[in-house]
Amino acid sequence: MDVKIYTDIACPFCYIGKKNFEKALAEYETDAKVNIEYASYELDNQAPKMPEKNIYEVLAEKHEQPMEEINEMVGHIVEQGKIAGIEFNMDKVIPANTRDAHRLLKLAYEFDLGDSVLESLHKAYFTEGKNVSDKDVLLEVAKANGIPEVPALEVINDPSLFLENVIGDFNMAKVNKVRTLPYYIFDDKFAISGAREPRHYTIALNKTLQPEK
């Protein structure tokens, strides 16, 4: 079974969904091999690499909502994160451009390290308060997950490498009418969107693996 998941490093619901999907998969009993592909989706490809605004200001501007409502929304995200086992330190978040992180993630898949690198990127962004556009941060993530230094540096220092792959994912997302992240496509049979509870992913797995009548 193939599961394609459109995601962005800067999407807290993608991080929550990742954790909950992994929990559902770990508890799911099947002999079928489940192949997971995280596809790139940039929520804001124009975000600066060195942002001057904090995450609250960015969200208030994006959603055109008063800060009081943004604080309430962020508080809800933090609580959802705790349930999923995530420590969201939203006051530390640097809302930087994620394109280079997505390009590094594409390289990671060539070494079968995509899942662990995505986890590290989410953690760097939401828990550790690191700038995922920073070359040193990206190299640190690459090394920590076992990506060889030479190809990692090549990708980090050459913005053209894997760029077509990242943009290609986004274009395919438009074909698939993706509007909400995370977005899951199960064996090209059906899709669900948004961060769900583990039981919802279990239902999706059951429906996908049911033999066709």
Residue 31 CA to residue 50 CA, distance in Å, equals: 46
Closest CA to 4 of 208, 148, 206: 208
pLDDT in the model for residue 210: 79
Q: What is the pLDDT along the chain (213 residues), one digit of tens a residue?
A: 999 999 999 999 999 999 999 999 999 988 889 999 999 999 999 999 999 999 999 999 999 999 999 999 999 999 999 999 999 999 999 999 999 999 999 999 999 999 999 999 999 999 999 999 999 999 999 999 999 999 999 999 999 999 999 999 999 999 999 999 999 999 988 899 999 999 999 999 999 987 665
| pLDDT attached to residue 80 | 97
Residue-range domains of the chain with CATH: 2-209 (3.40.30.10)
- Give the three-state DSSP class for 17: helix
The whole-number pLDDT of residue 209 equals 86
Extract the runs of DSSP E, i.e. beta strands, from the chain.
2-7, 35-40, 183-186, 190-193
Residues pairing with 128 in the sheet: none
pTM for the model stands at 0.95
Q: Are 137 and 96 in contact (CB under 8 A)?
A: no
Collapsing DSSP states into helix, strand and coil, what is residue 175? helix
CB count, 10 Å around CB of 136?
A: 10
